[in-house]
């Protein structure tokens, strides 16, 4: 039976819908023992709350819609705030410190628009098929491409995890915290987030941590930015900055390529499935993704604005790490502002570590057919949890190795991320256009135009970044 069959329903309550329904109790009792797994029961409980909010919510229509949206948001916010990870925030900061806001402020907005177009497709895939991204690739394109995609994802995710723990270590170094304590504490938080045995609880804990990505906003306000200059930049898209041509073009290519990374596709689709979202929830999932993209855009602009004092005063920031950025900004944004900035880098690395390790565990379980849900207890899904904790633990351990080539690892992470994107986006476009799989929820013509445009730009960016990394002399200086 086509999973997409049937008339689509609105995701939120409308005045035409009834607000009451006959009293029904959720299935329970010994007669159901052995028929339902822990995952089934927990997900059913989550869906029951959504159903009650949709049909029996108290108060005004607006209040019921807000409550329903609160129950359905999560994957979109997490994927975009997770993508605002430690390397990304340091990249945005370095851009503001070296080139100001004129060209790059609207450029950042454009990249997140591209990210929204891509991630919206994963919402529909997950809600309609109830299957993760890795599982769909494996089933629709065969074992070779399935194992290729997961090997590519696992390698990229591991190296990215190393970069996240580098960010955690660098952020806490501003406060004099030793590397072992900083990295070990972050690893414990990753472990603590998954001990609840409930997707809903894990999602809310991680979202609570993710909102601290907004710490960059007060740091930007303390820098007293020129708001009129920001307005002009967003309205007119000022000329390409003067400087080393090859360096700037490489920065543009890497920023585009990092907007949508493979882990984001795998994570949001699997989280949508684990949340139990249905086709009728697509509109809410789309809005969730928009919220995440909007917040992430604001935070990226805040990081850009927070470091413009360094640009204005001619301070070189080409080799700055998190603590060095905070220390350099202290004369202009104060000790409190510098501390906020360092804590923002810490949060960025921590939330990304949680999300990326979870995406690896989801993909592993989907491909190898083992239980892969945060609604499962450890005894039922121990391979899932071992991959999650093991990948994070190995990455954290690598960061603590004396004289480890951490700067080289960060460079390799960026290269692998952008080179892995062309096949990932090709699979995504083919899946979301598969009408046997998606039915009426397949891409429309307009969605295909937007998706193909973004895919083409990201493929060009990935190839361009890879070529210029291998052959740096190819671009003019």
Comparing C-alpha atoms, which of 411, 425, 429 is closest to residue 458? 425
Check residue 7 and give its pLDDT: 41
How many CB atoms neighbour CB 241 within 10 A? 15
Q: How far apart are CA 382 and CA 370, in angstroms?
A: 9
Q: How many CA atoms lie within 13 A of 244 on its CB side?
A: 11
Q: Are 369 and 134 in contact (CB under 8 A)?
A: no
Give the 3-state secondary structure of residue 315.
coil
Task: Answer yes or no: are the C-beta atoms of 209 and 350 closer than 8 Å.
Answer: yes
Tokens describing residue 397: 């351990």
Tell me the CA distances in angstroms from 470 to 250, 458, 473, one per residue in order: 12, 18, 9
* CA-wise closest residue to 303 among 127, 142, 104, 24: 104
pLDDT score of 291: 95
The predicted pLDDT at position 14 comes to 41
The C-alpha atoms of residue 61 and residue 366 are separated, in whole angstroms, by 39
Place of tokens 């072992």: 180
Cα 340 to Cα 123: distance, rounded to the nearest angstrom: 33
100 vs 83: CA distance, rounded Å: 22
> Which alpha helices (DSSP H) does 130-279 contain, by range?
133-141, 143-173, 179-193, 199-210, 216-222, 227-236, 245-257, 262-275
CB 79 within 8 A of CB 116: no
CATH assignment of 73-474, given 2.60.40.3080, 3.40.50.720, 1.20.1740.10, 3.40.30.10? 1.20.1740.10
SS3 content of the chain, % helix, strand, coil (to 5): 75, 0, 25
Q: Residue 336 and residue 340: Cα distance in Å, rounded?
A: 6
Query: What whole-number distance in Å separates Cα of residue 424 and Cα of residue 263?
Result: 10
Query: Residue 323 has what pLDDT?
Result: 63
How far is 433 from 110, CA to CA, in rounded Å? 24
The pLDDT, as a whole number, for residue 215 is 93
End-to-end distance of the chain based on CA atoms, in angstroms?
59
Q: What is the CA radius of gyration of the chain?
A: 22
Report residue 381 CA to chain centroid gap. 24
Q: Which two tokens stand for residue 33?
A: 């023992």
Residue 84: closest CA among 359, 442, 414, 352: 352
How do the pLDDT tens digits run along the chain, 477 residues long? 444 444 444 444 443 344 333 333 444 444 444 566 667 777 777 778 888 777 765 556 667 778 888 888 999 999 999 988 888 888 788 778 778 888 888 999 999 999 999 999 999 999 999 998 988 998 899 888 888 888 888 888 888 898 889 888 888 888 889 989 999 999 998 888 888 778 888 999 999 999 999 999 999 999 888 888 889 888 888 777 766 656 677 677 767 766 778 889 999 999 999 998 999 999 999 999 999 999 999 999 998 898 888 777 666 655 555 567 788 888 888 899 889 999 998 999 999 999 999 999 999 888 888 888 888 888 888 889 999 999 999 999 988 888 777 666 765 676 677 677 778 888 999 999 999 999 999 999 999 999 999 888 877 776 776 676 666 666 555
The C-alpha atoms of residue 199 and residue 197 are separated, in whole angstroms, by 7
pTM here is 0.84
Nearest to 158 by CA among 59, 262, 258, 63: 262
Question: Nearest 5°: phi and psi at 35?
Answer: -90, -30
User: Smallest Cα–Cα separation from 183: which of 21, 404, 428?
Assistant: 404
Tokens of 237: 């898209």
What Cα–Cα distance (Å) separates residue 385 from each residue in 234, 284, 349? Answer: 44, 29, 20
């Amino acid at each position: 039976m086509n999973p997409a069959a049937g008339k689509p329903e609105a995701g939120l309550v409308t005045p035409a819908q009834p607000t009451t329904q006959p009293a029904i109790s959720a299935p329970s009792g010994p007669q159901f023992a052995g028929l339902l797994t822990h995952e089934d029961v927990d997900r059913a409980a989550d869906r029951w709350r959504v159903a009650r909010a949709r049909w029996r919510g108290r108060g005004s229509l607006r209040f019921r819609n807000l409550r329903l949206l609160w129950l359905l948001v999560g994957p979109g916010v997490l994927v975009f705030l997770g993508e605002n990870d430690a390397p990304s925030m340091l990249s945005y900061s370095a851009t503001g410190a070296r080139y100001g806001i004129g060209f790059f402020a609207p450029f950042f907005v454009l990249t997140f628009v591209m990210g929204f177009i891509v991630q919206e497709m994963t919402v529909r895939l997950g809600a309609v098929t109830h299957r993760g991204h890795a599982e769909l690739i494996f089933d629709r394109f065969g074992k070779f491409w399935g194992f290729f995609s997961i090997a590519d994802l696992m390698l990229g995710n591991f190296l990215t995890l190393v970069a996240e723990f580098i960010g955690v270590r660098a952020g806490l170094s501003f406060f004099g915290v030793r590397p072992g304590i900083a990295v070990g504490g972050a690893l414990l938080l990753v472990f603590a987030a998954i001990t609840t045995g409930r997707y809903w609880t894990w999602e809310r804990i991680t979202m609570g941590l993710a909102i601290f990505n907004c710490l960059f906003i007060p740091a930007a306000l303390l820098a007293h930015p020129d708001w009129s200059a920001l307005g002009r930049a967003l309205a007119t898209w000022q000329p390409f900055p003067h400087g080393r041509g090859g360096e700037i073009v490489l920065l543009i290519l890497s920023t585009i390529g990092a907007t949508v990374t493979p882990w984001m596709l795998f994570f949001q689709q699997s989280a949508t499935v684990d949340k139990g979202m249905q086709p009728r929830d697509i509109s809410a999932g789309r809005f969730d993704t928009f919220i995440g993209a909007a917040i992430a855009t604001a935070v990226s602009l805040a990081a850009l604005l927070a470091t413009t004092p360094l640009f204005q005063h001619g301070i070189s920031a080409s080799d700055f790490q998190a603590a060095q950025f905070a220390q350099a900004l202290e004369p202009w944004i104060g000790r409190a502002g510098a501390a906020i900035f360092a804590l923002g880098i810490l949060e960025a690395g921590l939330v990304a570590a949680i999300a990326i390790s979870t995406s690896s565990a989801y993909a592993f379980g989907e491909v190898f057919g083992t239980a892969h849900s945060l609604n499962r207890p450890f005894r039922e899904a121990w391979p899932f949890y071992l991959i999650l904790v093991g990948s994070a633990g190995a990455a954290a351990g690598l960061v603590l190795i004396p004289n480890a080539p951490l700067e080289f690892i960060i460079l390799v992470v960026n290269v692998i991320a952008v080179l892995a994107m062309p096949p990932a986006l090709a699979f995504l476009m083919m899946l979301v256009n598969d009408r046997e799989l998606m039915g009426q929820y397949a891409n429309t013509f307009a969605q295909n135009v937007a998706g193909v445009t973004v895919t083409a730009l990201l493929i060009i960016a990935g190839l361009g970044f890879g070529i210029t990394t291998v052959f740096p002399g190819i671009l003019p200086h």
